[in-house]
Amino acid sequence: MLNVLACIASEHRPAYTFAALAVCVVGSLISMHLFARARRTSGMLKFLWLVLTGIIAGGSIWSTHFVSMMGYVTPVKLGFALVPTIYSLAIAMVVSGVGFAVGASTLRTPLVEVGGAILGLGVVVMHYVGISAMEMNGWVVWETRYVVSSVVFALLFGALATNRIARPITAVSKYFAAAAMVLAIVFTHFTAMTGMSIEPAPAIVTGQVRLSEPTLTIGILGVMSTLFLLAIAAYLIDTRTSRDASRKIEHLSLYDPLTGLSNRTNSVAHLGAVISGREDYTARVVVVMIGIDRFREITDAQGQRASDMLLIGLAERLAGSFGGGLSGERDFFGYFGGDTFFGLRYPVYGLRGVSAFAREIAASFDAPVEIDSGRIEVRAHMGAAVFPDHGTEPSQLIEYARLALQRARATASAGVVVYDPALDQKSREAAALSIDLRHAIDRDQLVIYYQPQNDSRTGEIVGFEVLLRWEHPERGQVQPAEFIPIAEETGLIVSIGEWVLRKACCEASKWEKPVRIAVNVAPLQLDRSDLPSIVRGALADSGLPPERLELEITESGIISDQARALHLIRAIRDIGVTVAMDDYGTGYSSLSTLQTIPFDKIKVDREFIKDILTNDQSAAIVKATLILAQSLDIPVLAEGVETGAQLEFLNDLGCVLVQGFLFGKPMTSAELGETGWISDPPRPVRAVETGYRSAVA
240-251 pLDDT, tens per residue? 766 766 666 666
Task: Kindly state the average pLDDT of the residues 471-481.
Answer: 86
pLDDT at 657 over 90: yes
Residue 235 domain flag: yes
Question: What is the phi/psi pair of residue 31, to 5°?
Answer: -60, -45
Residues 357 and 235 grouped into a single domain: no
Which among 147-151, 292-296, 323-327 has the top mean pLDDT?
Answer: 147-151
Same domain, 121 and 193: yes
Query: Among 359, 385, 419, which residue terminates a domain?
Result: 419
Identify whether residues 59 and 106 lie together within a single domain. Answer: yes
Q: What does residue 458 show for φ and ψ, rounded to 5 degrees?
A: -105, -15
Alpha-carbon distance of 347 to 331, in angstroms, equals 9
Range of the domain at 224: 2-245
On whether residue 579 sits in a domain, the answer given is yes
Q: What is the pLDDT of residue 591?
A: 64
Q: Note the pLDDT of residue 245.
A: 60
Mean pLDDT of the 39-56 span: 86
pLDDT band at 598 (very low <50, low <70, confident <90, very high): confident
Region of poorest pLDDT, from 54-63, 299-308, 457-466, 679-688: 679-688
Strand order in the sheet with 416-418: 331-337, 340-348, 284-292, 380-387, 416-418
* pLDDT over threshold 70, residue 175: yes
pLDDT at 180 over 90: yes
Question: Does this model's pTM top 0.75?
Answer: no
pLDDT of residue 362: 87
Q: Could you confirm whether 399 is annotated as catalytic? A: no
pLDDT-derived band at 78, boundaries 50, 70, 90: low
Domain termination site, one of 245, 272, 304 = 245
Residue 156: the pLDDT is 94
Where residue 400 sits, what CATH number does that domain have? 3.30.70.270
Compare 692 and 321 and report the one with higher pLDDT.
321
- Please write the tens of the pLDDT for every residue from 87-130: 888 999 999 999 999 988 766 678 888 999 999 999 999 989 98
pLDDT over threshold 60, residue 692: no
Q: List for the chain the helix, strand, coil content (%; round to 5).
A: 60, 20, 25
269 with 241, same domain: the answer is: no
Q: How many whole angstroms separate alpha carbon 659 and alpha carbon 638?
A: 6
- Say yes or no: 478 and 596 in one domain: yes
Both 276 and 201 in one domain: the answer is: no
Q: Check 250, 377, 639, 648 and give the catalytic one.
A: 639
What does the pLDDT average to over 209-216?
A: 62
Residue 669 lies in a domain: yes
In this prediction, residue 366 carries a pLDDT of 81
Q: What is the pLDDT of residues 20-29, one digit of tens each?
A: 898 899 889 9
DSSP 341: E
Same domain? For 202 and 348 the reply is: no
Tens digit of each residue's pLDDT (9 = 90 or more) over 296-353: 878 777 788 888 888 988 988 888 766 444 444 588 999 998 889 999 999 888 778 8
Clarify whether residues 241 and 381 are in a common domain: no
Residue 161 and residue 202 in one domain: yes
| In a domain? residue 674 | yes
Average pLDDT, the chain: 83
pLDDT value at 443 more than 90: no
Residue 321, pLDDT score: 66
Number of helical H runs and strand E runs in the chain:
24, 21
Residue 257 domain-assigned? Answer: no
Residue 586 has pLDDT above 60, yes or no: yes
Candidates 82, 173, 171, 161; CA nearest to 119 is 161
Q: What pLDDT sits at residue 578?
A: 94
Q: 385, 419, 453 — which closes off a domain?
A: 419
Question: What is the distance between the alpha carbons of residues 301 and 274, in angstroms, rounded to a whole number?
Answer: 40
In this prediction, residue 324 carries a pLDDT of 42
Q: Which of 59-68, 217-226, 529-538 has the lowest mean pLDDT?
A: 217-226
Q: How far apart are CA 403 and CA 29, in angstroms?
A: 59
> Across residues 623-641, what is the average pLDDT?
89
Ranges of H-type helices in 195-292:
213-254, 264-277
Average pLDDT over residues 26-34: 89
Percent of the chain at pLDDT above 90? 27
In this structure, are 225 and 288 located in the same domain?
A: no
Q: What's the CATH code of the domain at 566? A: 3.20.20.450
Position 683 scores a pLDDT of: 55
Which of 20, 57, 22, 24 is closest to 38 using CA atoms? 57
pLDDT interval class at 690 (50, 70, 90): very low
Check: CB of residue 188 under 8 Å from CB of residue 67: no
Distance CA(244)–CA(234), nearest Å, equals 15
pLDDT of 249 reads 66
Going by C-beta distance under 8 Å and a sequence separation of 6 or more, which residues neighbour residue 169? none
Residue 542 forms part of a structural domain: yes
Same-domain status, 454 and 413: no
What is the 8-class DSSP label of residue 286?
E
In a domain, 357, yes or no: yes
Residues 544 and 592 in one domain: yes
- Per-residue model confidence (pLDDT) at position 86: 86
Total domains in the chain come to 3
Give the model confidence (pLDDT) of 249-280 as tens digits: 666 678 888 888 888 888 999 999 998 887 77
**Quick check: is 424 in a domain?**
no
Which of 393-402, 444-453, 548-557 is predicted least confidently? Answer: 548-557
500 Cβ contact partners less than 8 Å away, ≥ 6 residues apart: 446, 448, 466, 468, 519, 520
